[in-house]
Amino acid sequence: MAQTIQNPILKKIEAGIEAKIPPESRQQYMAIVVSGMQIMFSTGTRHLLMQKIQQPGDIVTKVSMGIAQLIGTIYNQAKGKMSVPEAIPAAITLAMQALDFAERMKVTPPVTGDVAAQVVQATAQATLKLFGIGRNKVQEVLSARQGSLTPQTMAPPTGAAPPAAALVPQLGAQ
């Protein structure tokens, strides 16, 4: 199931993310990544990833929006027990996997550092938006916690609905 990233730029981003995951968050992060990899690369659903990346449009949008939908699906399957702070780096790791896959399948030209950086930014924003967390909340948290994110500080606003099935279509409904 594990896919080894071949593009050195994407591999470096993935390694950098994993190096920054605190030990107490590693299990949750890995659970999200493993779930996402199983959905993206299992024989029964791999064709959905191919369909998504072959759709018209730019690769940054296709990957970032697709990964946000994937995170929403995992969140729904976890019945809301997914930690948002770990979901963001997990989403970026999954995005690097999807970019590498697209490159290996010749759906996109070799991924540059610029494209990878755009995908990181767009994926983080799309995933945060999924949880109802806007830029103001992120800046507020970063300022207040000096970069230390916890499940409590990154929780969706009180009364915010979790990712809805309408916003996050089930995998088979594509």
Q: What is the pLDDT of residues 64-115, one digit of tens each?
A: 999 999 999 999 988 878 888 899 999 999 999 999 999 999 989 999 999 9
**Rounded (10°) CA dihedral 149, 152, 153, 159:** 140
Tokens 């591999």 identify what position?
Answer: 11
Q: Measured between alpha carbons, how far is 102 from 33 in angstroms, rounded to an integer? A: 18
pLDDT given for residue 63 in this prediction: 95
- Spatial CA neighbour of 80 closest among 33, 138, 131: 131
**Which one is predicted more confidently, 83 or 169?**
83
Query: In the prediction, which pLDDT does 144 show?
Result: 54
Mean pLDDT score, 17-37? 94
pLDDT band (50, 70, 90) for residue 139: low
Q: Is the pLDDT of residue 148 over 50?
A: no
Instruction: Map out the domains of the chain as residue ranges.
Output: 8-173
Let me know: does 6 contact 104? Beta carbons within 8 Å: yes
pLDDT at 19 (0 to 100): 93
